[in-house]
Amino acid sequence: MRGSILVISGPSGSGKSTLMHEMIKRVENTYFSISTTTREKRDGEVDGKDYFFISKDEFKKGIEEGSFLEWARVHDNYYGTSLKPILKELNTKKMVVFDIDVQGHKIAKEKFGNIITSVFLTTPSQTVLKNRLIQRGTDTTESIQKRLNNAISEMTRIKEYDYILINDYFEKTLEDLISIAHASKNRVASLNTEEFISSWANV
């Protein structure tokens, strides 16, 4: 077996971060790909754990050097996924978990192909998403409206994903996500079939 990739996308406020961190605690041999961003740290966030926080100049330099698997400008800030640690973890046969947007998912799929399993995570409705963003208390009214507009755009790309999860009941959604993670490790695309058949046949 070689490594596999689990991509999780969805609107900001849908519960991606909490679900992913809980899933990773319960699924062995996983690596969470930490994104790099130019946005300001929120209360409680830790550099190198939640994100790698860098300046816009540093980010632009990384783009020029080809250091990112994918990157995007979202809400006036840059977000990207560093390529080097991903390849390292895949070579150790781990499942690499990505929290990236729909644009990033498309690029990752073009580069890594069928070893990717993708999940689109969302809320039961736009109203629920808006209420969660308000309750979070970290965004201005203008920022919330930008996030809602972006969510509507993202929802039109659902068909590009393997699975959709509606995060209505946390424990049920987490159970479903864990099941998908386990299944993603057993994709035929993640298997060196010739080597496996030779080993199986004792030749």
26-41 pLDDT, tens digit each: 999 999 998 899 999 8
Q: What is the pLDDT of residue 44?
A: 87
Q: CATH code for 4-33+94-200?
A: 3.40.50.300
Model confidence band, residue 2 (pLDDT cutoffs 50, 70, 90): confident
Residue 43 phi/psi, 5-degree rounding, is -55, 130
- Exposed, middle or buried by CB within 10 Å (0-12, 13-18, 19+), for 194? exposed
Alpha carbons 39 and 74: distance in angstroms, whole number = 10
| Domain extent listing, the chain | 4-33+94-200
Question: Could you read off the pLDDT of 91-129 as tens digits, one per residue?
Answer: 898 999 998 889 889 988 998 888 899 999 999 999 999
Which is nearest to 107 in space by CA: 64, 72, 67, 65? Answer: 72
- pTM for this entry: 0.79
CB atoms within 10 A of CB 150: 16
